[in-house]
Amino acid sequence: MSILSPIVTIIRNQWASVLVWGVMFAIGAQALQLIMLMLRFDAFPNYLITYDWVGNAVRIINSTPSVKDMFPILFEEWWIEIGFMNYDFGNGISEWSLNVIPSRLFILATMGMLLKLFVVLLGQKSCSPKNTAFAYAGAGVGTLLISMTTAAMSWVVCCAAPSWVVGLAMLGLSVSASLALEGLGPSLFFSGFFFLVGALLFLSSRITKYGEDGKRIDALADCIDARTQSSDVGITNNINSNSDSSTLSVRT
């Protein structure tokens, strides 16, 4: 419980800021993916389709007897599709698109809220910069893995449903190699959350600790004492130097 205390305190005091940060992060991540698609294919999207996600979700729940099968279907249900349609082929064919899926938005918002907590925890002073480096590394790897595996883009070259591996193919990895990595998605996704949450807990553990007697110990007390002693020494030196200067001026 001691490790979670700083995190719980932040959520209790700044829950509105944490929530807004999460929502804005989710929207920003989707906008960034769309911008990357436009830059990659040098074209603006020319179609936008919205789906009745709520109605489709109710239909899936009512028509799927197995709860085990229901959630994976709901997880992949689309809400918005935006992309580029090539009308050189009859009614047109979608060359590339970004699919906005509510479940992915929820994951991105959750990641954004975790990053907000991470930023607040980083605001606490730390003695050793090595501690901050470890936290940055864990949060960076976690954010990269989660962002990569929650992307839902489609490309006609891949001839497959929207998947995170489409982004790898767009970056230059061969289509066959990209599709072969698709099965690693869940492992990479959960590993990302493991690294991000681990970085949070690591920072939190550096802020608050409890001794064997149950009394709270500030993990930064030594740092504060060191800074205080350093300040005292500096002040003493300044006083001594000022005294010497005054003595010299009087003698003069």
Q: 157-173 burial, b if ≥16 CB within 10 A, otherwise e?
A: ebebebbbbbbbbbeee
pLDDT at 173: 76
What local confidence, expressed as pLDDT, does residue 19 receive? 95
Q: What is the pLDDT of residue 162?
A: 59
Closest CA to 97 of 34, 146, 148: 34
The backbone torsions φ and ψ at residue 106, rounded to the nearest 5 degrees and listed phi first, read: -65, -40
Distance of alpha carbon 128 from alpha carbon 131, whole angstroms: 6
- Give the angle 179-185-188 at the CA atoms, nearest 5°: 135
- Whole-number pLDDT of residue 143: 93
Going from the first residue of the chain to its last (252 residues), give the mean pLDDT of each consecutive group of 10, the final group possibly shorter: 78 91 94 91 92 93 89 90 88 88 94 92 59 84 91 78 75 75 86 93 72 40 40 48 47 46
**pLDDT value, residue 44:** 93
Q: Indicate the pTM of the whole model.
A: 0.76
